Chains A and B, each alone.
Chain A
Amino acid sequence: MTRMTRLKLAAVALAAALASSVAASAATKIDFYFPVPVQGALATEMARLVKEFNEKHPEVEVTAAYTGSYDDTRLKTQAAIEAGKPPAVALMSANFVQEFVIAGQIVPVDDLLAENGGDPKTFLDDFWPALRGNATANGLIYAIPFQNSTPLVYINVDHFKAAGLDPEKPPATWAEFVAAAEKLTVREGDRITRYGFEMPGSYDYLGWLTQSFAMSNGGQFFNVSMPGEVYYDQPSTRGAVQLLHDLVFTHKAMPQGVIDPNQVSTDFFAGKASMVMLSTGSLSFIRKGAKFPYTVAFVPRNLRNAVPIGGGSLIFFKGITPEQRKAAWVFASWMTSAETLGSWSRFTGYFAPRKSSYDLPEMKSFVAEHPDALIAVKQLEFAQPWLSTYNVVAVRKAIEDEVQAVISGKKQPAEAVRDAQRNADEILKPYNEKIAHVTVF
């Protein structure tokens, strides 16, 4: 090789190296905000997932930021939008999507879908029907479901057997449920050493569970087609709140006061609560921590089986560059592929939003090994959209504060739901007046 040739080769090699480094640094950078709303080591796993994506797709560089609970993530995202620096994509609680649509802060993905060979009309067909309500608005697709859940009853099998109950036939109606809870409660004189039933009373959780009970009591809870209407002061909701009140004060099978979700799972593990109601999202956490045989059951029905879905979806914000939007789409497509959704579901206990995830071999064998996961999926048949209105957090808190008062012994259910309705209506007023074409604010 002549010296000239060697120099040329070196130059070419150098140019190639520079070109590749330039290409690498030309990766589109996007920010991704995500919450961890249930128990488990989800933040670490999400970080791992994002790292995997970044390695597989060098043209996109995702910076994932853990932003607290669903409520916190909403706050932080709102603040970022107001400051003019929104993230490209965020994992948002499914019931907040409507609010972002109303405020004009997020963009639908129909065009991105079409551009990339998808069909907006059939895209959501692969997703469970119950999820579609919270994912669309005005006929457009605004959110791609990533993790979903329903409330689930977790049962301590040993306690059931000891109390003469059949764990294979968990309580299916309210009446059976109350009876079981009473039977399972253990008293030592005046003190209760084991509660038949416990459920979280904290913000976000309580509203969700209240909605489950209201819906199992035949109620709609809110107007899916109109984000300004909630049905708190209705017999169905009132009956649900009355059930909770009675469990605490009449049957004395549920502790008084607001209980933190961690408290609930700790008590379950410690054998101080025989039945608990938690999200299916905590399924893996419970599976890992329970040192006794347990099983899961549907939320009991009074008039019908109906539960709200929970969980989060990926949404995309206005105010980002077209390149960032394309990059966000690449990221979201990967995250919501059947494989990724399946593996996330197996790790967490959330169910995979895509039906096709359950056709994959890994999922089939997992479900065969873990029948509790299957029961969670079966309840999807009865799943309904989650409370989603204008200013939903405030509207949700309106009922939560009242239910908290009821289970703390401060209010009676009738007064509580009346106050909740009044407060919620006050919060919804600005939206409703706009819809009703009232010009005065």
Chain B
Amino acid sequence: MRINGAAVAGIAAAFAIALVWSAPLLWMLVASLRPDSYGALDIASLWPSGPLSFENFREAFESGDFLVCYLNTLIVVAGTLGVQLVTVSLAGYAFARLRFPGRDLVFYLFLLQLMIVPPVLIVPNFKTVTALGIHDTLWAVMAPYWASAFGTFLMRQAFKSIPRDFEDAAAIDGCNVIQLLRYVLLPIAKPALIAFSIVSVVAHWNEFLWPLMAIDSPGKRTLTLGLATFVSGAEGAAEWGLIAAGTLIVSLPLLAGFVVFQRQFVNSFVFSGIK
């Protein structure tokens, strides 16, 4: 490998950019560990000054009610993913292997959901969940996402790339579709399932607008809703250290998950783009 000046300069540039890019997150880390002093002019300093303390986290956790929010978010994320795995496997298989009249039309109908995402439909969807009687429940937060066009297409691709021999053998043995999926196809398509799961978890952990419309009770807030409320109160007291701590509390699991499973994460996001 030839080492040329351009390559070195490129790496140096990338390094500098990454550093600047990380400044906000670095501030979040430093400020959250700095005992608060509102009105202080050095709140923006990226150098840790003075003793590090977890005081901000303790206070944020208490006053922000984040424990409840964590519970709600976990329920939403798991509940959404659980149902999605079923619907996308079934639908993905149908598109991958079955031929039926109107298949292309249905395919485009699915495609619609990729663009017309639930946040755009907050006005009619709010009406729907109210009419169904599930407004202000976590069901309402999950329900619009139980079908996933994105997941369906992902599984379709995954299934298509599995050689037909496996299914032919299974057919001879008299498997029905469910058994076929469960014992043959899904185990092979595991990477796609993992990829989809990661994208789904991240997307629903971080969702804000639709939960904002669907949830009223403070006891049912998800992490994003809790953070928004928490920040608006803490901004009033100019407690930026608290705000930094709160943001870190909400983002930590995903950030940590990413650091540990970096390759999985990156692959799944890339996977998700490849048609």
Query: A interface vs B, CB < 8 Å?
Result: 36-44, 47, 63, 65-69, 72, 76, 79-80, 82-83, 85, 261-262, 265-266, 269-270, 285, 289
- Pick the residue among A40, A85, A262 that contacts B216 (CB under 8 A): A85
Whether the pair B216, A289 counts as a contact (CB closer than 8 A) is no
**Which of B25-33, B191-199, B230-238, B248-256 forms contacts with chain A?**
B230-238
Query: B interface vs A, CB < 8 Å?
Result: 38-39, 41, 63, 130, 135-136, 216-219, 228-229, 232-233, 235-238
- A68 and B216 CA atoms in complex are apart in Å by 12
Whether the pair A38, B218 counts as a contact (CB closer than 8 A) is no
A261 — which chain B residues lie within 8 A by C-beta? Answer: 236
Whether the pair A72, B39 counts as a contact (CB closer than 8 A) is no
Whether the pair A43, B136 counts as a contact (CB closer than 8 A) is no
Q: A80-B216, A265-B39, A269-B39 are in contact. Are A72 and B238 (CB under 8 A)?
A: no
- A50 and B108 CA atoms in complex are apart in Å by 55
Q: A66-B218, A83-B135, A83-B216 are in contact. Are A262 and B232 (CB under 8 A)?
A: no
Closest residue to B231 on the A side, CB-wise?
A: A68
Whether the pair A266, B229 counts as a contact (CB closer than 8 A) is no
- Pick the residue among B217, B228, B237 that contacts A41 (CB under 8 A): B237
Whether the pair A68, B232 counts as a contact (CB closer than 8 A) is yes
A47 to chain B, nearest CB (A): 7
A143 to chain B, nearest CB (A): 22
Whether the pair A39, B238 counts as a contact (CB closer than 8 A) is yes
- A37 and B130 CA atoms in complex are apart in Å by 30
Whether the pair B41, A270 counts as a contact (CB closer than 8 A) is yes
Whether the pair A68, B130 counts as a contact (CB closer than 8 A) is no
Whether the pair A47, B237 counts as a contact (CB closer than 8 A) is no
B130 — which chain A residues lie within 8 A by C-beta? Answer: 82-83
Closest residue to B236 on the A side, CB-wise?
A: A39
Q: A44-B63, A83-B130, A83-B136 are in contact. Are A262 and B238 (CB under 8 A)?
A: yes
Closest residue to B221 on the A side, CB-wise?
A: A65
A30 to chain B, nearest CB (A): 14
B51 to chain A, nearest CB (A): 22
Whether the pair A67, B229 counts as a contact (CB closer than 8 A) is yes
B207 to chain A, nearest CB (A): 18
- Pick the residue among B229, B232, B237 that contacts A285 (CB under 8 A): B237
B218 to chain A, nearest CB (A): 4
Whether the pair B39, A289 counts as a contact (CB closer than 8 A) is yes
A273 to chain B, nearest CB (A): 13
Whether the pair A289, B38 counts as a contact (CB closer than 8 A) is yes
Whether the pair A65, B39 counts as a contact (CB closer than 8 A) is no
B41 — which chain A residues lie within 8 A by C-beta? Answer: 270
- A42 and B235 CA atoms in complex are apart in Å by 12
Whether the pair B216, A76 counts as a contact (CB closer than 8 A) is yes
- Pick the residue among B63, B217, B232 that contacts A47 (CB under 8 A): B63
Whether the pair A85, B217 counts as a contact (CB closer than 8 A) is yes
A42 — which chain B residues lie within 8 A by C-beta? Answer: 233, 236
A266 — which chain B residues lie within 8 A by C-beta? Answer: 39, 238
- A202 and B66 CA atoms in complex are apart in Å by 28
Q: A44-B63, A266-B39, A289-B39 are in contact. Are A79 and B235 (CB under 8 A)?
A: no
Closest residue to B136 on the A side, CB-wise?
A: A83
The residue in B130, B135, B216, B218 that gathers the most chain A C-beta atoms within 10 A of its C-beta is: B216
B39 — which chain A residues lie within 8 A by C-beta? Answer: 265-266, 269-270, 289
B219 — which chain A residues lie within 8 A by C-beta? Answer: 63, 65
> Could you show 18 A-B contacts with beta carbons less than 8 Å apart?
A36-B236, A39-B236, A39-B237, A42-B233, A42-B236, A43-B63, A44-B63, A47-B63, A66-B218, A67-B218, A68-B228, A72-B232, A80-B136, A80-B216, A83-B216, A261-B236, A266-B238, A270-B39
- Pick the residue among A69, A80, A83 that contacts B232 (CB under 8 A): A69
Closest residue to B129 on the A side, CB-wise?
A: A83
- A270 and B216 CA atoms in complex are apart in Å by 39
